[in-house]
Chain A
Amino acid sequence: MKRVVITGAGTINALGHSVADTMTALAEGRCGIGPLAVRDVERLSIQIGGQVRGFEADRRYNRQQMSLYDRFTQLTLAAAAEAIAQSGITFNGELASKSGVVLGTAGGGVSTWDDNYRSVYENGKNRVHPFVVPKLMNNAAASHVSIEYNLKGPSFTVSTACASSNHAMAQAFQMVRTGMAPAMVTGGSESMICFGGVKAWEGLRVMSKDACRPFSANRNGMVQGEGAGIFVFEEYEHACARGADILCEVVGFAMSSDATDIVMPSKNGAARAIAGALNDARINPEDVGYINAHGTGTAANDKTECAAIADVFGPHADKLMISSTKSMHGHLIGGTGAVELLACIMALRDGVIAPTIGYEEADPECALDVVPNEARNAAVDVVLSNAFAFGGMNAVLALRKV
């Protein structure tokens, strides 16, 4: 088994257009959620979200690229450029033929579906642009990353709703760990903040109209976000040999399936994923200092997640820190685990634990140290990142300081 390290990170999300800006915002406990700027917003009952602002796609990409890139692809390519530049890796020769890209997204090109449905249904048009299909397909972002960076190895897209990115990164990790690939580009993205995308979420009645307050007794739902998080996962010796800056090590993962309900989470399924990740990484529960929680701000998730953590960690659950950064960047659905991995890297590398903001009232059913409202300086050696999706599909990653 090979050791796997992260040598590059890139992002764009409601908190910033780079890793540095995002980490600064996370450390300051800044909220990126605000009023939505989307067409027909007045017909939405949910009018807030974590939108990416100030991203000038048409300046960044040429006309031909714009005709092929849905917003989720645009955001992915922006984050990938940062990650690959930081890593300093160049894919050519055998490295290129063995390395690939595995990304997560739940919805893919949602706004392309939305715009073109509007055009043919609402506006009565009988013709759509020729690139609608290659623009909206869920693997479009991964494909464009492969084209841009010459990644010719195993490449595909994983779609497991809110766990998509964690499942994708777990796959990439496994490929590098087993020696199948020397390096993998991985992470995920989502851009569902358009009229149809928000309207669909409204239907479930789980969205908050004012704020995402995970673990706080007065929480009233989740808030959508958008963006991308992209990483370079690389075999340790390969990274050392080229003198790469190592951000942290990925040491284990586990996936589990609740096999119970299409939307209600299960404590057992979550606990099995968390315990499985510890087991896979061969780490003791007492070694874990921080968990980046799934923490959606819904009653169902937060209670179940805290109970699962209490089950797995026993008395140590009261000593470790958990936080949900969704309170700041919103829920990026299929891209969320990728952006949240940045909070894990910040904890390991900088010793700064991102807070759960919007925390106003203790909930006896979420009685853990949720790092309320303000970041904390604390040295941690091992962290976990949780993702528990609709459909009962769970993926937990374990990372260690290098």
Chain B
Amino acid sequence: MSVIVLLIVAGGAVAAGFLGAFVWAVRSGQFDDMCTPAVRMLFDGGATRRPAPAIVAQMSATSGTTRFAGATPQDDEPRAGALADGVERLRTDVDRNRVDVSGEFGRCL
């Protein structure tokens, strides 16, 4: 029967681990806004943060889908194609999710 003691210790440790994770999540603000993240996850690729400089250089060299502040806005054919594709994909995503999104909003706002 002494194996139960072992189980209790193991079970308690797991439970305490989850409690710790929950405490961390609350204190780091993950429960502050229960609304916007649900909407944000639907965006395809729109980074909300400025990428580190190295990544910026790499991205502007390889992919044409992003343009950064400071870049002169002017026509650029290969980029236009990639961007149009991205917009199209995002639009279908959003169309598919529109009902859900507005439902989410009704709850939040």
Are chains A and B native binding partners rather than an unrelated pairing? no
> Which A residues lie at the B interface, using CB under 8 A?
none
